[in-house]
Amino acid sequence: MKTRIPLFLLASGLLVAAAGNSRGQAVALLHPEKVLGSERCEECHKQEILAWKASTHSRSNSVHRDAKTKDRAKEIAAKMGIRNVNDIPSHPLCTECHFTRQKVNNTLKVISGVSCESCHGAAKDYRDVHGDKDGIPSREERQKRSKAAGMLYPHEIASVAENCFSCHIVRDEKLVNVGGHKARSDGFNLVDWSAGEVRHNFYDAQYARNEKKNLETRIERKRLFHVVGMLLDLEHSLRGLARATDRNGKFYNTMGRQALAILKTQLPDVITKLGGEGSAPAELVEIQKIGAATKLKGPSADLLKAADAMAAQIEAFGKREDGTGLGALDPLLIPNPNGKAYVP
């Protein structure tokens, strides 16, 4: 997911933009007053927490102190007008993606790096319902109520992955063009990165729990990761193009190259492998048509319209598809995990 950059310690050393996200409960919408902290998850998910603590996610709040990143962090921060490196944890350019904050007695404080709630939603409204096996014996009912209260479940691949892309693809043009931040995490790939140090699979396909083994991701889910990751990458690249004001800048050019590569090569390849337009999932064919009708150097309004239309198709695909019919994509799923997965 080539030289590997640990999650959230990006090659630039700091800062992913905090500009608002277009949809979903992305990290930018993680309201501190609803954050409970990983300790409340640990009561039922001890192995998941151990896996998280072994990952770079849990340490992303140290980018301004870590010997490997602090100089670069200070350099980028200074270019963005943050003169004191100690202000990084409280600055909106940094907090949304590198830190988890909690509001306690009307005071905001950093409680960790990228956390459970960064990916699965602030837990205040759903935590008790999610874990109430005695009061709500039906797993389906618990899920229904938890989702209504803001929880993003792992099987909702498109919704959870939206959080990944909302941080791993930078949303602030100035942060890239002026601050010198990378426009996207080097080598970011949903299949590879989810298979590495962030992997925490302790439930099998039948939802039976096994705390002694961090399970490999099932092939059906890897297929979905590949397709959904590619489509979200396209959507976010188009939104980046629409957001750009300097069409000669690094931000614009990076987003444009990625969108073009997906539209001209990656997406057509997937559709071809799945049998062409007559056999491939309708959502993929529709996204290809939307892309073909969109000028990458066109007006921002057109780019945003295309991204919104694609978002609807991605959501529909993620909810409908289970991966069993995507076996033709298996040759594309050569694993190259980003970091080492936790072993209990």
Q: Please give the C-alpha separations between residue 78 and each of 14, 87, 113, 303, in angstroms, as whole numbers.
A: 12, 11, 22, 32
Question: Regarding beta strands 100-104 and 107-112, do their DSSP bridges make them parallel or antiparallel, or are they unpaired?
Answer: antiparallel
pLDDT at 335: 75
Residue 27 has pLDDT above 60, yes or no: no
pLDDT tens digits, residue range 86-141?
899 989 889 888 999 999 888 999 999 999 999 999 999 999 999 999 999 999 99
pLDDT tens digits, residue range 144-176?
999 999 999 988 899 899 999 999 999 999 999
- For residue 76, which amino acid is it? I
Q: At what angle do helices 219-243 and 157-168 cross, to 10 degrees?
A: 40
Residue 70 and residue 135 in contact, taking contact as beta carbons nearer than 8 Å: no
Q: At what angle do helices 300-320 and 219-243 cross, to 10 degrees?
A: 170
Residue that the structure tokens 């396209």 belong to: 234
Q: Among residues 271, 275, 315, which one has the least CA distance to residue 289?
A: 271
The band of 30, judged by pLDDT with boundaries at 50, 70 and 90, is confident
Q: Please give the C-alpha separations between residue 186 and each of 127, 163, 189, 213, in angstroms, as whole numbers.
A: 34, 17, 9, 29
Q: Please give the C-alpha separations between residue 339 and each of 156, 167, 243, 317, 335, in angstroms, as whole numbers.
A: 24, 18, 32, 29, 12
Residue that the structure tokens 């062409």 belong to: 276
| DSSP secondary structure code for residue 90 in this structure | G
| DSSP secondary structure code for residue 186 in this structure | T
Q: Determine the Cα–Cα distance for residues 305 and 296; give it in Å rounded to an integer.
A: 12
Dihedral angle computed from the Cα positions of residues 71, 73, 76 and 80, in that order, rounded to the nearest 10 degrees: -130
- Write out the DSSP string of 34-68: G---HHHHHTT-HHHHHHHHTSGGGGGGGTTT-TT
pLDDT tens digits, residue range 182-239?
999 999 999 999 999 999 999 998 889 999 999 999 999 999 999 999 999 999 999 9
Among 26-35, 38-47, 68-77, whose mean pLDDT is lowest? 26-35
